[in-house]
Amino acid sequence: MIENIINKLKSKGIEVDSKQTNLIKEMLRTAQSEKNTVTKLIKNNSIKSSFYIWGDVGRGKTLITRSFLDLLGEEKVIFHYIDFMQNIHRELHALSGINKPLEEIAKSLSNKYKIIFIDEFQVEDVTDAMIVGKLLNHLINLDVILYLTSNVHPNDLYKNGLQRQQFIDDMNIILPSFNIHELRGEIDYRTRNIVNVDKYIQKKSYTDQDIREIIEKNFYNKDYNKKTFSLNSRRFSCKAFSNDFLWLSFTSFFNEPNGPEDYIEISKKSEWIFLSDLESCDDDSADLMRRFISFIDICYRDKTKIKFFFNGCSHENLYTGEKLEVLWNRCQSRLSEMQTASFLS
């Protein structure tokens, strides 16, 4: 079984190190194997079945957990933390007026799933903080096994948040039920894979299918059905997005009426931005280029990770006009730097 998981990680460009191997072994230790298939999790007082896995981005936390869960036959569900909490708030609204609604939600979940995986567990909102620990406690009491991944140690969750002591008290009740495992390491595999795309594919132009394959190799909460996204109470077009990335079309997005406030929000919210359909522009597209230059200025300042997909051109000849020459010279220099491994790391 461990070989199955390791081979899957290798297929995603991850060279499994000792810390990742130890995590996989620890997860398998909680399970009972039969004919290379995990059929039943061992559940007794001496073994903690739930896991809280934390560490830097790109260390394989999500992929390792998903690969392990793929071996399990039990009913399971995978949520991104944001989606999970949105669902809980909708349920609470529907159950308004009912006594102990969190217990009812936990019972409903436990009737459907024996295992719940919440990816990118990162509590930032006071409303979430006041309920999430209590909900997880109810789920554990109902014998639901939880897998949480996060970028921070449990002690650093909701740091400096309002009414944090209440959150800490709730978490202190449930944390003894978890194996807390740090996935430490210097390599950000996601960034490395994306930075090195051009070395391996070597194309002058990328199709949407090419880009989908890159995204699918490195992200797991993707939705290609979402063609618009909300920003500052308005909607804009996109190729796809998730809680981890935003995929924009250069020609479509920068032809829309958007501006610096929108770019600031995009920079804040997106771990990665994929920008496709970059094609050479002249002064007939000066308004588009002004927006693009402003976007690059903000993303450069914020060190936002962007993967550029040029179609038949490069950053050197993306703009061939004269009106924006001074602005473009600065932007061109920044584009060059933003594609380097040192900037993206």
Which of the listed residues 159, 182, 205 is the one where a domain comes to its end?
182
Report how many domains make up the chain. 2
Rounded distance between C-alpha atoms, residue 278 and residue 211, angstroms:
13
Calpha distance 4→205 (Å, rounded): 35
pLDDT of residue 222: 63
- 119 and 208 inside one domain: no
In this predicted model, what pLDDT tens digit does every residue of 92-115 receive, in sequence order? 999 998 999 999 999 999 999 999
Residues 28 and 106 in one domain: yes
Q: Last residue of a domain, which of 165, 182, 199?
A: 182
Mean pLDDT for the stretch of residues 61-81: 88
Note the pLDDT of residue 199. 62
Q: Say if residue 334 is in the same domain as residue 198.
A: yes
Q: For residue 168, what are the domain limits?
A: 2-182
What pLDDT sits at residue 328? 95
pLDDT (mean) for 50-69? 89
**Looking at residue 33, what is its pLDDT?**
38
157, 275: one domain: no
Q: Are residues 194 and 171 in the same domain?
A: no
pTM listed for this prediction: 0.65
Task: Name beta bridge partners: 229.
Answer: 236
Residue 158's CATH number: 3.40.50.300
Confidence (pLDDT) at 147: 97
Distance CA 332, CA 218 (A): 28
Considering the domain architecture, whether residues 115 and 52 belong to the same structural domain is answered as yes
Q: How far apart are CA 132 and CA 138, in angstroms?
A: 10
Q: Do 167 and 241 belong together in one domain?
A: no
Predicted confidence (pLDDT) at residue 255 exceeds the cutoff of 70: yes
Q: Is there a single domain that holds both residue 337 and residue 211?
A: yes
Q: 175 or 345: whose pLDDT is higher?
A: 175
Q: Are residues 143 and 197 both part of a single domain? A: no
Identity of the amino acid at 14:
I
208 and 112 inside one domain: no
| 125-144 exposure pattern, b = at least 16 Cβ within 10 A, e = fewer | eeebbbbbbbbbbbbbeeeb
